[in-house]
Each structure stands twice: as C-alpha cells, then as structure tokens.
Amino acid sequence: MKKTITLALVLFAMFSISTQAQEFPPLDKSPMDMAYYPSKVALRAFAKTDEGKNAEPIIRVTYSRPKADGRAVFTELEKPGNMWRVGANEATEVMFFQDVKIDGKKVKAGRYTMYIMLGEEEWTVYLSTDTDGWGHYAFKPEASSVAQITVPVEKTEDTIENTSIMFEEAEPGAHMLIGWDDRMVRVPIEL
C-alpha cells in the first residue's frame, strides 16, 4: 500500500512538473485568419438547408492580419515598388479546391502563396508554388509564379485597420478583395 501511494505521488509530481514547464507563446501582434469562398462554407455544419449543409469550399485564404496602428501603411511601411507578402509573418496561402482561371490562365487545384508588387495606381498579384515560406524574401516571381494579374487600386471609404481579405460573387466566379488602411483591390477569379 505504501509503495502504491509513493508511486502515485512520484508520478503526480513528475506530471505536474512537466505540465508547468510548458510556456505557450503570447498572442501574435498579427493574428492569423481565414477567408472562404463561398463565405459561409466554413459554417456549413450550422446550416439549416441541405444545400448549405452540403456546400463545399472552392477557395480558402490563410493570412496574418497586421494592424495599421496609426502608421502610413502604403507610403512608409509598404511602399510602391516593394513586394508585399499580403499580410505579415508567413506568406499568405491560397488553397483552390478546384481548377480556376486568373487573367485567363488556368490554375490547377492546389495550394499556393500570394504576393503583391505594390504600385501607386495598380498592384500586380502573383500566385506561387513556393509554399511554406516566411515573408517574401525568397520569392522569385520568374521561377515559381503560376499566374499573375495586375488590378487597379481603389481608395476605401473607411480605414481598414487590419489587413483584410474577403470574397464577393462576380460573374463568372468571384472577386477576392484585399484591403488595408485606405486601399483595396479586387482580384477576379473565374470558376
């Protein structure tokens, strides 16, 4: 009996020490988020109709959301002529669950990263096979791009505090909206 109690106390002490030794990192200043097309597909388990419950994702974007925090985003932080990873931290990842077309070019279903060459009046959006990278530092557009499209920059009515990505329906597919601070672009994707 004494051995059983002693063994239990030793195991408890070892377990307590090992669980207390774990230190999880604090919340990142640019938390990660996801955008889906169709937008409600991630919530299909809560849908009330069979159509909603059986919906399948077509596009998913995973990205970090830096905060403007009073900074002049596209004149000081991310300047025209610079490549942007579309967010912060790891490069923004786009998952196509079916083949799509970007600027008339077929892009096969799969996982890609997205980068933007910033300009004053237009941005060039690149999709790359160079996945699992931090930032845009190793991105070589000529070596890994599967598609690119140049789109006009629009001024937003309201300031977008954190980098944001969402989708809107558009014929013959969807537009991926990318916005931050006082600017945004619409990236047409044919389905």
Distance in angstroms (rounded) separating the CA atoms of residues 158 and 47: 31
Per-residue pLDDT band at 3 (split at 50, 70, 90): low
Residue at 10 is within a domain: no
pLDDT at 9 over 60: no
Q: For all residues of the chain together, what is the average pLDDT?
A: 89
Residue at 23 is within a domain: no
Percent of the chain with pLDDT over 70: 87
pLDDT at 22 over 70: yes
Residue at 15 is within a domain: no
181 torsion bin: left (phi>0), alpha (psi -120 to 50), beta (else): left
Q: What is the pLDDT of residues 26-76, one digit of tens each?
A: 888 999 999 999 988 888 777 777 677 678 999 999 999 999 999 989 988
Per-residue pLDDT band at 14 (split at 50, 70, 90): low
For residue 55, give both structure tokens: 């919906």
Domain ranges, residue 168: 28-190
Query: How much is the pLDDT for 42?
Result: 83
Query: How much is the pLDDT for 155?
Result: 96
19 torsion bin: left (phi>0), alpha (psi -120 to 50), beta (else): alpha
Query: How much is the pLDDT for 1?
Result: 56
pLDDT at 113 over 70: yes
Residue type, 131: T
Length of the chain in terms of residues written: 191
DSSP secondary structure letter of residue 45: G
Cβ atoms of 158 and 172 closer than 8 Å: no
Percent of the chain with pLDDT over 90: 71
Residue at 47 is within a domain: yes
Residue at 164 is within a domain: yes
Mean pLDDT of 121-138: 92
Mean pLDDT of 90-100: 97
Residue at 67 is within a domain: yes
Cβ atoms of 38 and 55 closer than 8 Å: yes
Number of domains in the chain: 1
pLDDT at 124 over 90: yes
Residue at 21 is within a domain: no
Query: How much is the pLDDT for 63?
Result: 97
Cβ atoms of 135 and 166 closer than 8 Å: no
Angle at 154 between CA 153 and CA 159, to 5 degrees: 120
For residue 16, give both structure tokens: 């307590």
Distance in angstroms (rounded) separating the CA atoms of residues 125 and 148: 5
Residue at 14 is within a domain: no
